[in-house]
Amino acid sequence: MLETNEMLVIAMLGSFIALLFTGFPVAWILAGLAVIFSVIGIVTYEYLNWDTYFMTSWRVYGLFVQRIYAQMTNWILVALPMFVFMGLMLERSGIAEKLMVNFVRLFGRFRGGLGVAVILIGILFAASTGIVGASVVLLAMLSMPVMLQQNYSKSFASGIVASSGTLGILIPPSIMLIIMADQLSLSVGSLFMGALIPGLLLGCLYIIYVIASAYLNPKACELPTDLPPVTWGLIKETLLAVIPPLGLILAVLGSIFMGIVSPTEAAGVGALGATLLAILNKRFSFPMLADVCRRTTITTAFVFGIFLGATAFAVVLRNLGGDEFISDSLQSIPLSSAGIVIVILLITFIAGFFLDWLEISLILLPLVGPVVVALGFDLVWFVVLFALALQTSFLTPPVGFSLFYLKGVAPPSVTTLDIYKGVIPFILLQLLAVALVFYFPNIVLWLPQAMYAN
């Protein structure tokens, strides 16, 4: 029979899931449930003498203040607004437009070449922005009209754009990885190094699928007939268009990987570099800077609002014994250690249908992380695996944010059904990447081990 504290843990988690469907802001749901269940926990322990335990008296609210203060003074999280600023500034710098024009002229003459060009730009933008919404919207606005004009099927084009835009959540510098590192007290640099090869692997799987689909189903993407011939001048222009974002990527990631600067300092380098690129591209203006700062503030406030609510929620859940309950429940599953990890990944995948990656990272990951360590697995490997599984949440309805971003800017002829049909193969490719990383851990661990060995 369940004890009172276990019933309260189940009720708290169940209430959170149920209230999500009301459409009420997640930050307020988390904070409100923390207050309500803290009162219930104190009352059942101090006044009703039920078989439960909770932090002594009302001092739990002092713990709220301490934890929230610790979050707001965490120097690692200073990187968040600067990486957001970098991504938004790059979005306005005109770099993507130059890349798209030159990549289309160079790769568009090959079957599936437009799709490959979009994925390559998606990889470059993933490694220089890390903001899924900005990447999807930008790629959709630049590439969807071109692909539809070249008779790409609407579902095929939609799948390419939506999936390419999601690479930014995995390929470093990734905001999601920074938050995950903070939640489990891991090195941001180690996570960045661990996620780099899996992120590029996923991009390569996308490219292979697009090329194979183009040749197996030629009607899905016809060859354009109005492109100029390939010349050394075109190749030179394309290389010149690639150098600025590639230089920014090397400045940010290279400085982290070589141990020259911390991730927080590298975020400052990235923000400055993106601003300089906008100036060099003659797109910079003070109204544009003000708009980028405003959007950065709004995005950062949204993230930290959920952070604070999740912090209060976690304090109460842990004081009710939530950590022990989750750990005991998972370890009591009659499966091997690998089987338990698969169950965690399956829960993550299913949760992604209904929850945003931020809520899952802040609520679920801190609960299952200690279990994975107790089972003897490398935590960096598991977090990257968790991030790969979580990336599917951007493409799975009904809460797939990439689908919403794409639908908002796609041509009117592209229906929601077209988008849903288009992303299915790419979700399967994401799950294939999860399986590859699961069975071959060195895909994640080789680069961190090689870097630290030197």
- Cβ contacts of 374 within 8 Å, gap of 6 or more: 327, 331
Residue 236's pLDDT band (cuts 50, 70, 90): confident
With a cut of 90, say whether residue 386 has pLDDT above it: yes
Query: The tokens of 154 are what?
Result: 């609407």
With a cut of 80, say whether residue 81 has pLDDT above it: yes
Q: For residues 383, 384, 387 and 392, what is the CA-based torsion angle, rounded to 10 degrees?
A: -140
Other CB atoms closer than 10 Å to residue 59's CB: what's the count?
10
Mean pLDDT of 259-273: 82
Residue 58's pLDDT band (cuts 50, 70, 90): low
How far apart (Å, rounded) are the C-alpha atoms in residues 90 and 272?
Answer: 11
Query: The tokens of 417 are what?
Result: 């059904």
Cα 420-424-427 angle, rounded to 5 deg: 125
With a cut of 80, say whether residue 164 has pLDDT above it: yes
How far apart (Å, rounded) are the C-alpha atoms in residues 236 and 183?
Answer: 44
SS3 track for 44-75:
HHHHCCCCCCCCCHHHHHHHHHHHHHHHHCCH
Asked if 27 and 71 count as a contact pair (C-beta separation under 8 A), the reply is no
How far apart (Å, rounded) are the C-alpha atoms in residues 88 and 284?
Answer: 12
Q: For residues 140, 142, 148 and 152, what is the CA-based torsion angle, rounded to 10 degrees?
A: -80
pLDDT recorded at residue 53? 53
Rg of the chain, C-alpha, whole Å: 23
Residue 173's pLDDT band (cuts 50, 70, 90): confident
How far apart (Å, rounded) are the C-alpha atoms in residues 155 and 426?
Answer: 12
DSSP state of 254: I
Domain boundaries, the chain: 78-303
Other CB atoms closer than 10 Å to residue 57's CB: what's the count?
11
Torsion 364-327-178-451 (CA) sign: negative
Residue 167's pLDDT band (cuts 50, 70, 90): confident
Residue with the larger pLDDT of the pair 231 and 54: 231
With a cut of 70, say whether residue 129 has pLDDT above it: no
How far apart (Å, rounded) are the C-alpha atoms in residues 246 and 277?
Answer: 12
- Cβ contacts of 182 within 8 Å, gap of 6 or more: 74, 76, 77
Displacement of CA 229 from its chain's centroid (Å): 38
What does the pLDDT look like over 95-116, one tens digit per residue? Answer: 777 777 777 777 767 777 888 8
pLDDT recorded at residue 319? 78
- DSSP class per residue in 142-180: HHHHHHHHTT--HHHHHHHHHHHHHGGGTSSS-HHHHHH
Three-class secondary structure of residue 2 per DSSP: coil
With a cut of 80, say whether residue 3 has pLDDT above it: no
Mean pLDDT of 381-397: 88
Residue 426's pLDDT band (cuts 50, 70, 90): very high
SS3 content of the chain, % helix, strand, coil (to 5): 80, 0, 20
Mean pLDDT of 437-444: 93
pLDDT recorded at residue 149? 79
Residue 439's pLDDT band (cuts 50, 70, 90): very high
With a cut of 50, say whether residue 318 has pLDDT above it: yes
Asked if 162 and 429 count as a contact pair (C-beta separation under 8 A), the reply is no
Preceding omega of 398 cis (within 30 degrees of 0): yes
Three-class secondary structure of residue 129 per DSSP: coil
pLDDT recorded at residue 227? 63
pLDDT recorded at residue 375? 87
Average pLDDT value over all residues in the chain: 81
pLDDT recorded at residue 224? 64
What is the pTM (predicted TM-score) of this model?
0.81
242-248: long-range contacts, CB 8 A cutoff, minimum separation 24: 242/99, 242/124, 244/95, 244/277, 244/280, 244/281, 245/90, 245/95, 245/99, 245/124, 245/125, 245/127, 245/128, 245/277, 246/124, 247/273, 248/90, 248/128, 248/273, 248/274, 248/277
pLDDT recorded at residue 1? 41
Residue bearing tokens 């990890």: 341
- Quick one: which of 340, 349, 437, 439 has its CA closest to 391? 349
